[in-house]
Amino acid sequence: MTANSSLVSGEIDSFYSLVQGLPEDGFCSGTTCFIASGGQSRGAANRGSRKIYCLGKCYAAPADVIHEGEFRIGIHASESVVISKIQGGPVKNLEAYLESGGFNGFRSAVKLGRKKIVDYLEESGLRGRGGAGFPTGRKWRSVQQQNSSEKYVVMNGDEGDPGSYIDRVLMEYNPYLLIEAMEIAGYAVGSGAGFAYIRTEYPHSIERFARAIEEMKAANLLGENVEESKFSFNITLKRGLGSYVCGEETALMRSIEGKRPEVSVRPPYPTERGLFGKPTLINNVETFASVPWIMQNGPQRYASMGYAKSRGTKLISLNSVFRTPGLYEVEFGTPIRYIVENLGGGLKKGSVKGLMLGGPLSGILTPEKLDIPLDYESLRQNGTSLGHGGIIAFGDDVGIPELMEHVASFASDESCGKCTPCRSGSRYLRNFFHDMNTGQSPKPESPDFFRRTVKSLRDASLCGLGTGLAEFADSAIKGYPEEVVKWFR
Ligand SMILES: Cc1cc2nc3c(=O)[nH]c(=O)nc-3n(C[C@H](O)[C@H](O)[C@H](O)COP(=O)(O)O)c2cc1C
Ligand code: SF4
């Protein structure tokens, strides 16, 4: 097994920004780095067209490829589901993982049997951590029920949302847990082949994951006839090549297939026709990370934590403007204010002007809304979303028009171009805010055109990149009208 750099050429490599790998002298252009630089992009200094969005070092922003920085890891839930083994640092090797009870989730799952594994997930209330919050058990059931001799399990380790370094830490600090979870998935849905898709911006995750695969194979915990059983499962590691949209599941699968990774229309859903046209189970890293614990401890114990329809625990990551940036495991229902003030310790400088949850392509949470609980539905009702769980705070030094230009540029750079509202709309919004920031005067038709662009992004985009840009633009205009009023008269 090698960290495969997909064969790309011509029209395909033009899609990606990091085909030649991560430049050692590169700077991050992501939103947290933009904010940490007081609303400027150091990424502009990168050579050629090699934009780097994002390195997952949001705790040490503004970040570059070489320097690492430090962050806290803390548990603030009645029980830790995913990070108990890494609170003190990375799991050293497979031996250490096994000594701490690793791989017992898989053994418990095999004892439960295929049907009960999925029952457990359904009863636990676990929802996908990749953004949409789709019920995990329902997805596994759907793949399990497909009548096909060939199925795939895919781990989505693309984590493109600036602000989130949750999946990066899990892949880097405890890849064994994720491999174990993928094997549980393979066993449950009847698949012998897994793919782990990890972004090129995370070289340590790729390296650690590749090493863990080899260690587990050598110990007969992965590969042919796992622990002398009839179950065989292999994992191929695929490296992303620098494209945010490849985190979207249909684009990701096209990327693995070596095709130009544009988003595909659904249905058919991956559960029915996914990778190479076969039923495919695709889950986010943190979703997988929760599975072994549920197998061992039972669904009720998991479901006893949480709030309303969001059960269990969630990892959140805080950016560098907080006093104590870090990765924290909290129970759903924890008030956002508690996270900001008690875990993050407030901001290093000044007070919170806004919070971006769920990456840049989601609504901004204004300070008067900090008392809402962290859960999928409450955040939705307040015009934002949980996304991966990265929380980017910004203070008064960041201007809304500058932030909007940055986010629209990000969306425009990363748009796959498949649908017109996003392909053209993201560019229009970028230019609109560029004009605003460079002292141009608004044209009489500008406000109306802006509103129509945002509406078509929201109503007619094919995926969350376009709709997320609309959500962000809407919330920024509504939340901070005084900063843009001149352009909307
Ligand atoms: C533009 C876009 C980018 C996405 N990026 C990611 C990503 O980096 N990681 C991820 O797990 N899901 C990402 N998703 C969501 C995936 O499409 C998919 O829903 C998810 O991997 C399913 O796993 P889950 O059910 O465990 O959440 C993205 C979606 C969109 C629209
Ligand atoms: S919304 Fe943007 S990224 Fe998504 S399919 Fe349309 S063009 Fe591609």
Q: Ligand 1 pocket, 158 CB below 6 A? A: yes
Tell me, yes or no, whether 133 and 240 share the same domain. Answer: yes
Atom of ligand 2 nearest to the CA of 423: 7
Domain harbouring 359, CATH code: 3.10.20.600
Which ligand ends up closest to the CA of 140? 1
Which ligand ends up closest to the CA of 414? 2
Task: Check if the beta carbon of residue 87 is closer than 8 Å to that of residue 334.
Answer: no
SS3 337: helix
Looking at the DSSP assignment, which residues form a beta bridge with residue 157? 198
Q: Is residue 435 part of a domain?
A: yes
> Which residues line ligand 2 at a C-beta cut-off of 6 Å?
245, 263, 415-419, 422-423, 461-463, 465-466
SS3 367: helix
Q: In this structure, which residue's CA is closest to atom 6 in ligand 2?
A: 419
Boundary residue ending a domain (251, 280, 303): 303
Boundary residue ending a domain (394, 412, 440): 394
Atom of ligand 2 nearest to the CA of 466: 1
Tell me, yes or no, whether 146 and 47 share the same domain. Answer: no
Tell me, yes or no, whether 407 and 379 share the same domain. Answer: no
- How many angstroms separate the CA atoms of 316 and 170, rounded? 12
Domain count, the chain: 4
Q: Is residue 4 part of a domain?
A: no
Tell me, yes or no, whether 405 and 388 share the same domain. Answer: no
- β strands within 138-262, DSSP E: 152-157, 193-198, 234-239
Predicted TM-score (pTM) of the model is 0.95
Tell me, yes or no, whether 388 and 404 share the same domain. Answer: no
Q: Is residue 3 part of a domain?
A: no
Tell me, yes or no, whether 483 and 362 share the same domain. Answer: no
Q: Is residue 13 part of a domain?
A: no
pLDDT value of residue 478: 93
pLDDT value of residue 13: 82
Judging by DSSP bridges, how do beta strands 364-365 and 390-394 pair with one another? unpaired
- Can you read off the two tokens belonging to residue 253? 């699968």
Boundary residue ending a domain (394, 420, 438): 394
- How many angstroms separate the CA atoms of 146 and 189, rounded? 9
Q: Ligand 1 pocket, 262 CB below 6 A? A: no
Tell me, yes or no, whether 408 and 380 share the same domain. Answer: no
Express as a percent the part of the chain with pLDDT over 90.
84
- Can you read off the two tokens belonging to residue 39? 């609303």
Longest dimension (CA), the chain: 74
Domain harbouring 419, CATH code: 1.20.1440.230
Please write the tens of the pLDDT for every residue from 99-146: 999 999 999 999 999 999 999 999 999 999 999 999 999 999 999 999
Tell me, yes or no, whether 383 and 415 share the same domain. Answer: no
The list of the chain residues with pLDDT below 70 reads 1-10, 39-50
Tell me, yes or no, whether 266 and 370 share the same domain. Answer: no
Structural domain of residue 55, as residue ranges? Answer: 26-64
